[in-house]
Chain A
Amino acid sequence: EVVLLESGGGLVQPGGSLRLSCIGSGFTFRDHAMSWVRQAPGKGLERVSDISASGGSTFYADSVKGRFTISRDNSNNTVDLQMNSLRVEDTAVYYCAKNRYNSLEWFDPWGQGTLVTVSS
């Protein structure tokens, strides 16, 4: 069974930093691109960032470019999201999601999510 487990969420002040982590199991992690998708309270879904299977290519939503950094460690089956200069509007549940091999298509499955709250 494929399982994704996120951690690292919490309460942070505007301008602060937070690092999210996701560990995958039940599949060959190094063969799959990975993504972070977020959902603000009561709102829809927004793809935040993607990283290729090797980690050599990364992609970001315009809303987080220059502030967030995605990385992965294929030896430990983890993908991280370093979030700097956080804004109130970054408040959301952040989901880690697996892609179909190294292609950026649909997301399947998703982790259970970790809540990030940016507030003073």
Chain B
Amino acid sequence: EIVMTQSPATLSVSPGERATLSCRATQTVSSNLAWYQQKPGQAPRLLIYGASSRATGIPARFSGSGSGTQFTLIISSLQSEDFAVYYCQQYDNWPRTFGQGTKVEIK
């Protein structure tokens, strides 16, 4: 099973600043990686698939990059509604696995 490791566990950022989240896989997953956002009490929402393609309705301030084992999610200018937990998920190999999440909190 591929283990996904996200860093940091918690990221403190001021509104308007840039946030950089990392996700690493224990073996290559090519570009078969998705990112989700989860707010308290809500279901996860798909942000990015294929490592860099934004899902429908996702603002351009969210961007994904990477391939192989190293991936990055960048939120270019944090808005109040972006403070949440973010998960990466690989779908290159069965079973599909998630990272443990990065919490983006207000600094």
- A: residues with CB less than 8 A from B are 44-47, 59, 61, 95, 104-113
B87 at the interface (CB under 8 A from A): yes
A104–B34 Cα gap in the complex (Å)?
A: 12
CA distance A19 to B101 in the complex (A): 29
**Contact, CB under 8 Å: B99 / A44:** yes
Contacts beyond the supplied A45-B98, A109-B43: 14 A-B pairs with Cβ under 8 Å? A44-B98, A45-B44, A45-B89, A46-B98, A47-B95, A47-B96, A59-B95, A105-B49, A106-B34, A106-B46, A107-B36, A107-B46, A107-B89, A110-B44
6 contacts across the A-B interface (CB closer than 8 A): A46-B98, A47-B95, A47-B98, A104-B94, A111-B43, A112-B42
* CA of A100 to CA of B87, assembled, Å: 19
Bound CA–CA A45/B97 (angstroms): 8
Q: How far is the CA of A104 from the CA of B32 in the complex (A)?
A: 11
Interface class of chain B by DSSP: loop
Given contacts A44-B101, A105-B32, contact A59 B45 (CB under 8 A): no
- Does B34 contact A44, Cβ atoms closer than 8 Å? no
* Most chain B CB within a 10 A radius of its CB, from A104, A108, A113: A108
Closest 9 CB pairs of A and B: A106-B34, A110-B43, A108-B46, A45-B98, A105-B91, A106-B49, A44-B100, A47-B96, A44-B101
- Asked if B98 contacts A104 (CB within 8 A), the reply is no
Q: By CB atoms of chain A within 10 A, which of B32, B45, B49, B95 has the most?
A: B95
* Chain A residues whose CB sits within 8 angstroms of the CB of B101 once the complex forms: 44-45
Q: Which residue of A lies closest to B87 (CB)?
A: A45
- Residue in B91, B94, B95, B99 whose beta carbon sits within 8 Å of that of A106 in the complex: B91
B55 CB–A CB distance under 8 Å: yes
Bound: A105/B90 CA distance, A: 8
State in angstroms the CA–CA spacing of A106 and B90 once bound together.
8
